[in-house]
Amino acid sequence: MGGVSIHARALAGLTAVSHGYVVHVATIQVNEITRDSQSTDDRDAPTADVAERTRDVVESSGWLENAARLGWISKGLVYTLMGITAFTIARQRSTGEDASPEGALQRVMERPGGRVLLVVLGIGLLLYVAWRLLSVALIAGNELTHWADRVGYLFSAIFYLTLSWTALKAALRNDAPEDGNTIERLSRTLLETGWTRVLLGVVGLVVIGVGVYFIVRKGILRSFADDLDGVDDSWRGNDGYARTLLVAGVFGWLGRGIVTVLVGFFVTRAAVRFDASDARGFDRALRQAATTDLGTFLVAGTAVGLVFYGAYCLLSVPRRSLEVER
C-alpha cells in the first residue's frame, strides 16, 4: 500500500509538472501572438491614425464629401465625350477631334458658352482630385495591396489635376486646350539615350498591365462594386438601379481597359523599334487600330465601353462614400 501511495504521489507530481510546462508553453505562445499582433498594430499605427483623423474631418464637415463626390460628374462627362469621338473614328469618318481627355475639353470649348462650361468642368475635376487625395489618406493598412491603391490613387490625382489645369487655362486664355500628345512627347524624350529606351519599354509594359487589370479585375470580376454602397457584384444581389450601375461598370471598365492596353502596346513597340513615332496616346492609338477591319470592331467596342464608363461615373455619384480602407 505504501508503494502504491508513493507511485501515486510521483505520478501526481509528474502530472502537475507536465501541466505546468504545458501552461508555461501555452503562455509563451499567447505572448508571442500578442507581441506579433502588437507589432502589426505598431506598423499600421501611423497610417491608421491618419485614416481615422481624415475620417473625423470628413464626418465633421458634411459638405466635404458631398462636394468631392461631384467630381465624378466631371470625370463622367470627359469619358462620355471621348467615347463619342472614338465611335466617329470607328465609323471611318474624318474628324479633327481627338478621342482623348484633352479632345473632350476641346469639344466643350467649341459649344456655346464653352468657356464657362470649361471652368465648371475644371473645377469639377479639381473636386475629383480632392476625392482621390482623401481616398489615399483613408487607407489605414500597410499591406502591398494598400500601397498599390495609394500609388494608383495618387497617379489618378496627378493626371486629373493636370487635366483640370489644362481646362482652366484654356478657359481663362480663351484658347484651345493643349493637344493630347503627351505620351508621344515623353516617348521622344526617353528615346534620346539607350538606357531610357529600356525605361520606356518598362513603362509600356506597366501600362499594358494596368489595362489588363482594368479588364480582368474591374470588368470581369466586377471588383468596382466594392466601392459602391448598396451594389453587389452579382446580378441577383442588386435592385434595378444597382443592376444598371453594375452593367455600366462592367462594360465601362472593359472599354477603359482595352484603350489602356492599346496605348501600352504602342509605347512598348516604340521602345522595341527605337522609334518615337510608334508611340500613341489615346487618340492616335484608336486611329491606328481602326486601320484594319478587326481593329475597327475593336475601336467601336472601345467607344461603346468609354460611353458606358462615363455613364458609370455619373450614375455612381449617389452610391459613393469615403470610408476607411483597412
The 3-state DSSP class for residue 17 equals helix
For the chain, state the CA radius of gyration.
Answer: 28
pLDDT tens track for 70-114? 999 999 999 998 888 888 888 776 566 676 777 788 788 877 877
Residues 39 and 32: their CA atoms lie apart, in Å, by: 10
Contact (Cβ atoms closer than 8 angstroms) between residue 257 and residue 223: no
pLDDT of residue 284: 73
pLDDT at 143 over 60: yes
Alpha-carbon dihedral sign for residues 67, 164, 108, 277:
negative
Residues 310 and 238: their CA atoms lie apart, in Å, by: 21
- Looking at mean pLDDT, say which of 60-74, 144-158, 248-262 comes out highest: 248-262
What is residue 110's DSSP assignment?
T
Least confident among 45-49, 65-69, 82-86, 207-211? 45-49
Contacts of 223 (CB under 8 A, 6+ apart): 217, 233
Residues 144, 149, 155: CA angle, nearest 5 degrees: 125
pLDDT of residue 241: 93
Amino acid letter at 174? N
Residue 82 is placed in which grid cell?
Answer: 471621348
Beta strands in 96-141, from DSSP E residues, in sequence order: none
Contact (Cβ atoms closer than 8 angstroms) between residue 229 and residue 320: yes
Beta bridge partners of 325: 139
pLDDT at 264 over 70: yes
Q: For residue 9, give Cα distances in angstroms to 1, 3, 17, 19, 237.
A: 12, 10, 12, 15, 66
pLDDT tens track for 282-301? 777 788 888 888 888 888 99
Q: Which residue has the cell 452579382?
A: 234
pLDDT of residue 97: 65
Least confident among 102-106, 116-120, 262-266? 102-106
pLDDT at 246 over 70: yes
Residue 54 is placed in which grid cell?
Answer: 481624415
Percent residues over pLDDT 70 in the chain: 79
Considering only residues 110 and 134, tell me which one the structure prediction assigns the higher pLDDT: 134
Amino acid letter at 268? T
Residues 109 and 174: their CA atoms lie apart, in Å, by: 9
Q: What is the pTM of this model?
A: 0.79
Percent residues over pLDDT 90 in the chain: 27
Contact (Cβ atoms closer than 8 angstroms) between residue 317 and residue 72: yes
The 3-state DSSP class for residue 289 equals helix
Q: Which pLDDT band, with edges at 50, 70 and 90, does 127 fall under?
A: very high
Considering only residues 303 and 185, tell me which one the structure prediction assigns the higher pLDDT: 303
Amino acid letter at 59? E
